[in-house]
Amino acid sequence: MEIRKTGIGDLKRLQDLLGRAVLNNIRWCEAVCRAHGTGADMEAGWWRLRGSPPPFYPHAISLKKDISVPLDLPPGAAVKDSYDQLAFDPAQWTRLFGAQWYGCEWGPLQADAGEVIRADGPEGLAVWLSAWGGTPEGQVIFRDELLRNPAVRFLMTADGLAGLAAYREGEEGARLVGISNLFGVIEGIAACLNALARPGDQLVGYGDAEELALLEPYGFRALGPLSVWLRKAG
């Protein structure tokens, strides 16, 4: 599968896209948490939940590079440092992992992408969740209520071998599309991206070095680092 890559332009555009990627990720996290009945607030450069998040989701996400680490979060709370620049006290925090924001401006597909299906109801979401296979036993991350949000998409190939989740903002052809929970073979993921986006849409997300390397042939480039931290007990 070949994609005509358009790239992301100069440094200023890259920096702008990084900021938009952070905000898109916050909106995605808020949508997931609201489906669990948990609201959030923006305060002092932070997005913060009013309650507990579902598995793998943070209690707080930074919006800026030069803010203070919140000290009133409980033990076990996770914090996403969106720019990997905050001063976490190692006596109080454990670094869970680092990752890389990435993005691209989507170009037209040059070959047949194959059939892609969208989870548009509880049964479809159950099929997607089974194919993804990332839900801890006995727990729920993505609730059926999330499907009511018009910005949310769950896509996978018809054979169930690849898929992703997405949060779309803006008008067609000039949208910002956040992608997450990628799974399966890269050709199938690219097919899902092509079904999701239109030429000119900007795609953003984050992942480890291996994920970025798989996406680079399709025009994705690194935007900047992030890190996730866990509040220690005691």
Chain segment 26-47, per-residue pLDDT in tens: 999 999 999 999 999 999 999 9
Asked whether residue 181 falls in the same domain as residue 98, the answer is: no
Asked whether residue 108 falls in the same domain as residue 212, the answer is: yes
Asked whether residue 169 falls in the same domain as residue 117, the answer is: yes
Asked whether residue 123 falls in the same domain as residue 181, the answer is: yes
Alpha-carbon distances, residue 231 vs 43, 88, 98 (angstroms)? 19, 10, 16
| Coil, helix or strand at residue 16 | helix
Asked whether residue 126 falls in the same domain as residue 192, the answer is: yes
Looking at residue 76, what DSSP letter applies? Answer: T
Residue 6 covered by a domain: no
Calpha distance 23→14 (Å, rounded): 15
Asked whether residue 45 falls in the same domain as residue 133, the answer is: no
Calpha distance 17→10 (Å, rounded): 11
Asked whether residue 186 falls in the same domain as residue 124, the answer is: yes
What is this structure's pTM? 0.93
Is there a contact between 199 and 106 (Cβ–Cβ < 8 Å)? yes
Structure tokens at 173: 């052809």
Asked whether residue 115 falls in the same domain as residue 173, the answer is: yes
Residue 1 covered by a domain: no
Q: Exposed (0-12), middle (13-18) or buried (19+): which is 148, by Cβ within 10 Å?
A: exposed
For residue 98, is pLDDT > 90?
A: yes
For the CA atoms of 2, 3, 5, 6, the dihedral, rounded to the nearest 10 degrees, stands at: 160
Residue-wise pLDDT tens digits, 126-173: 999 999 999 999 999 999 999 999 999 999 999 999 999 999 998 766
Predicted local distance difference test score (pLDDT) of residue 40: 97
Domain ranges, residue 52: 11-102+226-231
Please state, as a whole number, how many other Cβ atoms lie within 10 Å of the Cβ of residue 100. 18
For residue 203, is pLDDT > 60?
A: yes
